[in-house]
Structure 1
């Protein structure tokens, strides 16, 4: 006796697996100490063959910018703002504002292209709260992104509107146990 599985024809409308829509995940907390866990998740996913992009909006210091992404392994691109310093204030000079806006425009472009299956937007909440990136543009980007793209948003004091559209919210709290 021979068993045979029936498989759909190549041009059939039936799919073997259902399409899974990408998630919006938020990692937030009062302290800025949870990026290690997020980057570990990104590295693990990239190591399994999934394309990952990590964008750090407020980090600088290595003359990187979106035109010179750092490549970690075959599947993870890491981009920082093209600034000589890290941003810790909403008061930027013209060159710093220009660099941050270029990175934001690049971010919107690559997300809408769907090149990456996972995109981490690090310290996005601070960039929004500093008034550097409009919350309305972030919400529009999340709404229009390709269905397969997962987005991770990080930062303290995440705006309520972003929490409202999130599929998963992880709040990191410090334990005060000895």
Structure 2
């Protein structure tokens, strides 16, 4: 037997007494192989109908870029830089720097528009540590984003200023047990 509750129309128009604020979550570890956990969370949330954006700043090699986002299901958009390689050094060619900056500017603008409820910024700590995106810009982005937007930042060696404003910090460690 299936039952369904009906909500009166007047209840739908009523605002919640306390607005729900988005969280800043940090996933960090000394190695770069933990993205699976974060993408699983993003897929689960998108599967429930919540708009999700996944941005991989340092991944390349698949000719994706802003013009060719990957859409997983109805609610998850996945973007990478349009780069011929993955970035693993702070020394970039001019075209690589331009692609990274375009992706960062695009990310900031779509978040301000309120298009997404969850935004995953993969390996953003490396982009900051390489000096490609300034820590001050990221802090401004996090503090001025729409209040309902959850943000997940990933990467090793997350700057202390980011950790200070994070609502949740998950540090993944490898253990070697015989």
Instruction: Give the paired residue count.
Output: 173
Q: Which residue of 2 aligns with 1:4?
A: none
Separation in structure 2 between the aligned mates of residue 79 and residue 11 of structure 1, nearest angstrom: 34
Structure 1 consecutive aligned stretches of length 4 or more whose deviation exceeds 6 Å: none
Q: Distance in 2 between matches of 1:69 and 1:171?
A: 29
In structure 2, runs of 5+ residues without a counterpart are 1-7
How many angstroms does 1:15 deviate by?
2.6
Aligned pairs for 1:1-178 within 5 A: 9=10, 15-16=15-16, 18-178=18-178
Q: TM-score, normalised by structure 1?
A: 0.92
Larger Rg: 1
Alpha-carbon shift at residue 11 of structure 1 (Å) = 9.9
Residue 8 of structure 1: how far off its partner (Å): 8.8
Which residue in the other structure is 2:4 paired with? none
> Cα 1:51–1:8, aligned 2, differ >3 Å: closer, same or farther?
closer
TM-score, scaled to structure 2: 0.92
Runs of at least 5 residues in structure 1 that lack an aligned partner in the other structure? 1-6
> In the superposition, relative to structure 1, how do residues 92 and 50 fare at CA in structure 2: closer, same or farther (>3 Å)?
same
What is the Cα deviation at residue 33 of structure 1? 1.4
Q: Using the alignment, how far apart are the partners of 1:11 and 1:107 within structure 2?
A: 31
